[in-house]
Structure 1
Amino acid sequence: MPKVRPRTTNKANWTMEDLQRAIKLIVEQNYSIRNAAKTMNIPFASLYKRYKKKFDKAPRLGHQTVFTPEMEKEFADIIKKMANIFYGCTPNQIKRAAFEYAEALNLKHDFNKSTRLAGRVWFEGFIARNNISVRKPEATSINRVTAFNKTEVGRFYNLLEELMEKYKFLAKNIYNCDETGISTVQEPERVLTATGQKRVGSITSWERGKNITMLCAMSAGGGYVPPMFIFPRKRMTPTLEKDGPTGAIYKCSDNGWINEELFLQWLKHFTQYAKPSAEEPILLILDNHASHSSLAIFEYCKENYVHMLSLPPHTSHRMQPLDVSFFGPFKAAYRRECDLFMKSQLLQRITPYDVASLVKKAFSNVASMSKAEAGFKATGIFPINSNVFSDEDLIAAEVLQSEPIVVQDLADSILGSPSVGAVASVSSITATIELEQNSPIPSTSTYCPTTSERVTTRLSQFDIPSTSKDLTSVQNFIQMPKKVTVAKKRQGRQKQHATILTSTPIKDALVEKENKKKAKALKTQGKGKGIGKKSKPQEIRREKVKKKILQDSNDTSMSDVNTDELCQDDENDDTEDASNLCLVCGEFGRNNETWYRCTSCGHWAHADCTGWDSAYNYVCDMC
C-alpha cells in the first residue's frame, strides 16, 4: 500500500460546501473575496482561483500526480477491460508502460531510469485511486473462454424455459449432477512457523496419489443424493465402503472414470431417491460427457419420467450449480479432513480404503440447503433468469472469436467507441505496430498528422510542454495480444451444443451409435484369447503342469510313483496360491491381465488395481 503519512497541518481542511457558501457571500451580500475567505476559513488564493477562474476542484494535499486524472482513467479502463477478456496486465507491464508513457510525454517524474519502471509507491497509489486490485487469476482454457458466448448461453436458457413451461418442474425436482476427482494426496493448509524460515513443508501421503471419481447430485430445493464412488480397480471389496456416506454406492472401472454402464447404474440409484412420476417428473441438468448418453440411458429415462438437459460444452465453470457453489467448499473441507487424518498418527498414509470415511465427514459439513439454492440461483436455472450473465461476462468470447485483425483493431474492439476528450483516442490511431516490454519509444514519423494534432490540442489543456506533441495513446505502451489467422483444423467430432438428451430426435443418433458399438465388438470377437505374455506366472505354471499331466497319462513307461509326485507338486502350487492373490482385490488372476510385484514384500497385485503406470519401483499400499 502507499505510504501512510499522518496529517500535520490544517491546510485544505475546508470542503466544497464551504466554497459554495463563500461564493454566495460574495455574490449575494457583496462580500469581498478576502473577507469571504476569512469568514469561511478558506485560503484567499484558493477562493480567488475558484471564483475568478471558475476552477471547481476539491481541495487536496500532497504533490501533483505524474499523470492527470483523465490519463489515469484511460490506463484504468484498459486494465479492467483487458482483465475481462482474460488477458490481464501484470504489475510490471503497467509500471513499464507508465515509465515509457511519461518519458514520451516529457512529464516530470521520479521513476527508476535504470530499470525503466515506475515505482512501487506510484503503482500502489494508482490502483488505490482507480479501484483496481492485484488478484491471482484462475487458469481458464481457451475452450472455456470462447465457448461461454451469448449464442450458446441463450440456446441453453431457451431449452430450459421450453421444458419448464411444458412440465412445470418443482424446485425439489430440478437436479444437477456432475463428477469430481478425489485424490489420496491432499493439498496442505497453511501452517505456523518461525518468521524468516525459508523452507516450510507439510507431510502428505504419497508423491502421486490415486484419483477416485465421485458422482454427486443436488436439487434446487436443497436436497442431496448420496454420492457414487468409482475406484480404479478390477473388482470391488467391502473394505472400500468402510464408514462411507449413508446410502452411497461403490463401483469400479479400469481407470477409475465413469462410463455409460456405470452412469446407468447411478441413474437407477438416483431414481430411488428422487422418485420421479408422471405427476412429478424430474429435470436432470448435466454436462455433455459421452458417458451420459446411450440408448439404454435414453430408454431408462423415458420409462422413469427423467428429462435430461445438457449444458453447453466448456461452460460448467459458470453454468453448473455444483461447480459454482458446492465443489469448492467440499474440496476445502476434504483437504482439512485429510490433514487431520495425516497428523493424527505418525507416518499415517491415506489409502483408497480411507477415502469414503473422509468424504463422509467433509460432505456432511458442507452439504447444506443454502449452498444448493445459491448454486441454482447464481446460474439462473432456478428461478429462471436468462439475464443472469451481463454483457461484460460474455464480451471475451465476442472479442476473441471475431475475424483475424491487427493489434490496434483488437484494442478498438476491447475499448469500444472512443470517448470524447480521451487522450489521443485509440480509434484515431492507424498504426499497427506491437511494442514489446523492452522496446524503445516508437518514432514519431510512424503516426499520422491527425493524431498529433488531437494530442497537441488535448495536452495543451493540461499545460504540458509543446515538445511532447507527436505522441500516441497509452494503448500503444501496453502490450496487446495479436490475433493471427489459425490454420484450419482437421475435421473431428461435430460441435456440441446444449441439448435435451431425452428428446425424440436424439434417439436415432443413439441407435446408430449402439449399432456401431455392436459391429465393432463383433469384429474384434475372438481376438486376444488364451494366455499371453502378460499373464500371471502362477497361472502359466499351473497350465504347464496340467499339460504335462495329460501328456504323461498316455506314457505307459511312467510309474505310478512319478505320477503321484507330479500331482503332489500341483497340490503344493494350490497351497501357495494364498500368497499370490491380488493384494488389492484379493482375487486370482485371469487371462491377459498385467501384474506388478511389490519391490518391498514381493507380493503380486493387478496392474489396474495398483493405479501405477509401470512396475518400476512399485511399492504396495501395505508397505
Structure 2
Amino acid sequence: MVRNYKRKSNRGNYGNNNLSLALKLLNEGKPLNTVSKEYGIPARTLRRHRDHKVQNPGRLQFGRHRQIFPEEVEKELKQHITEMERRMFGLTSKNLRRLAFDVAQKAGYDHPFNKETRMAGEDWLKSFLERNGLSLRQPQSTSMARIVGFNRPKVDQFFDLLRSIFANADYDSPKIWNMDEAALTTVQKPSKIMAEKGIRQVGKVTSAERGELVTFICAMNAAGGYLPPLYVFPRKRMVDVLMKGSPPGSVGYVTESGWSDG
C-alpha cells in the first residue's frame, strides 16, 4: 500500500513589510519562534535576516538576480531615456549600459557590472526595460532641417493661420483633405530559398538588381473619401503598360527624376 504524504510548509504569504515588522520585534527581544508563528515566516529565514547573513536584511529577493539601483534612480534613468528620445537623440543599448555602469560607480552601488568593458550586462538591460515599460525600437531617419523647423513658434504660427482660415469660411469634413506621398521600389526583395551547402553565391530572378523609386501620392478627406492614387515614374515618356494592375482610376505621370515637381 502506497501512501502520499504532503509535506507541511511553514512558509506563509508575507512581504517586505511583514518581514521588517518581524525583525523589529526580534530586535525588541521577542522570541524567534513566537514571531515566526505570528507572521508565518520560517524561523530559519528570520534568523538569517536577524544575523545579517543576507545582502539586504529585511528585504525579500527571489532568484539570483537582484536590482542594482533604487527605484528613484531607475525612475531618473527612465526619464532621461524618454527625454533624449523626444529630443531625437535616443540612447542605444550600449549607451544605456555604459551610463548604468558610470552611475553605479560614481554612486558607490554594489554591482556585478564588467569593469573591463565598463558596461552593465545584457541581463540587467533586459530586466530594466521590462520593469520600466521600455523597449528597443527602430527609429525613423529625421533630417536636421525638419527637427529645427518643428518648434513652438512655428507650430503656433501654423495653428493661428489654420484658426483664421476656419473663422473666415465654413469647412465641413468632406472639404478637409490630407495628401501624402511615399516611395515604392521597382525591385522586390527576394525571400530565403533552399540551396546546397558550400555554394558561395545564390541568386533569384527579379525585375532588376538595382531598382528605381516610383513616387506614390494619395489624398483622403476627413469624411473618409479618397482620390485614386497618382504614380510618378522616372521616365521621359509615359507607357500604358506601367499602369497595369493599378487600382481603378489611378493616374500616371513621368518625370526624369521620378519625383513630384508640380
User: Fold-level match, TM-score > 0.5?
Assistant: yes
Alignment partner, residue 62 of structure 2: 61
> Structure 1 residue 218: deviation in Å?
0.9
Tell me the distance in 1 between the aligned counterparts of 2:201 and 2:108. Answer: 46
Residue pairs, 1:183-332, within 5 angstroms: 183-188=185-190, 191=192, 204-259=206-261, 291=262
| CA deviation profile, 1:293-349 (whole Å, cap 9, x unmatched) | xxxxxxxxxxxxxxxxxxxxxxxxxxxxxxxxxxxxxxxxxxxxxxxxxxxxxxxxx
Alignment partner, residue 39 of structure 1: 38
C-alpha distance 10-109 of structure 1, shift in aligned 2 (>3 A): farther
C-alpha distance 238-154 of structure 1, shift in aligned 2 (>3 A): same
- The letter of the residue matching 1:61 is F
State the TM-score, normalizing by the size of structure 2. Answer: 0.70
Alignment partner, residue 125 of structure 2: 123
Report the identity percentage.
35
Q: Report the secondary structure of 2:209's partner residue.
A: coil
C-alpha distance 213-92 of structure 1, shift in aligned 2 (>3 A): closer
C-alpha distance 75-209 of structure 1, shift in aligned 2 (>3 A): same
Whether the aligned pair in 2 keeps the contact of 1:234 and 1:254 (CA below 8 Å) is yes
Q: Report the secondary structure of 1:117's partner residue.
A: coil
Residue pairs, 1:386-465, within 5 angstroms: none
C-alpha distance 182-110 of structure 1, shift in aligned 2 (>3 A): closer
C-alpha distance 118-222 of structure 1, shift in aligned 2 (>3 A): same
Whether the aligned pair in 2 keeps the contact of 1:183 and 1:212 (CA below 8 Å) is yes
Greater share of helix residues, 1 or 2?
Answer: 1
> Structure 1 residue 233: deviation in Å?
2.8
Alignment partner, residue 141 of structure 1: 143
Q: Report the secondary structure of 1:67's partner residue.
A: coil
Tell me the distance in 2 between the aligned counterparts of 1:34 and 1:201. Answer: 75
C-alpha distance 172-187 of structure 1, shift in aligned 2 (>3 A): farther
Q: Report the secondary structure of 2:216's partner residue.
A: strand
Alignment partner, residue 159 of structure 2: 157
C-alpha distance 203-97 of structure 1, shift in aligned 2 (>3 A): farther
| CA deviation profile, 1:187-216 (whole Å, cap 9, x unmatched) | 45x65779x999987654222223333332
Matched, 1:13 2:13: yes
Task: Identify which range, 134-143 or 197-206, moves more after superposition.
Answer: 197-206
Q: Which has the higher contact order (CA 8 A, sep 6+)?
A: 1
- The letter of the residue matching 1:232 is P
Tell me the distance in 2 between the aligned counterparts of 1:109 and 1:58. Answer: 17
Tell me the distance in 2 between the aligned counterparts of 1:225 and 1:124. Answer: 46
Tell me the distance in 2 between the aligned counterparts of 1:124 and 1:11. Answer: 30
Greater share of strand residues, 1 or 2?
Answer: 2
Tell me the distance in 2 between the aligned counterparts of 1:164 and 1:71. Answer: 48
RMSD (Å) for aligned C-alpha atoms:
3.9
Q: Report the secondary structure of 2:231's partner residue.
A: strand
Q: 5+ unaligned residues in a row in structure 1: which ranges?
A: 1-8, 50-56, 260-290, 292-623
C-alpha distance 154-199 of structure 1, shift in aligned 2 (>3 A): farther
Tell me the distance in 1 between the aligned counterparts of 2:127 and 2:244. Answer: 56
Q: 5+ unaligned residues in a row in structure 2: which ranges?
A: 1-8, 51-57
Query: Who wins on radius of gyration, i.e. which is larger?
Result: 1
Tell me the distance in 1 between the aligned counterparts of 2:246 and 2:139. Answer: 35
> Structure 1 residue 230: deviation in Å?
2.5
C-alpha distance 231-123 of structure 1, shift in aligned 2 (>3 A): closer
Whether the aligned pair in 2 keeps the contact of 1:14 and 1:59 (CA below 8 Å) is no
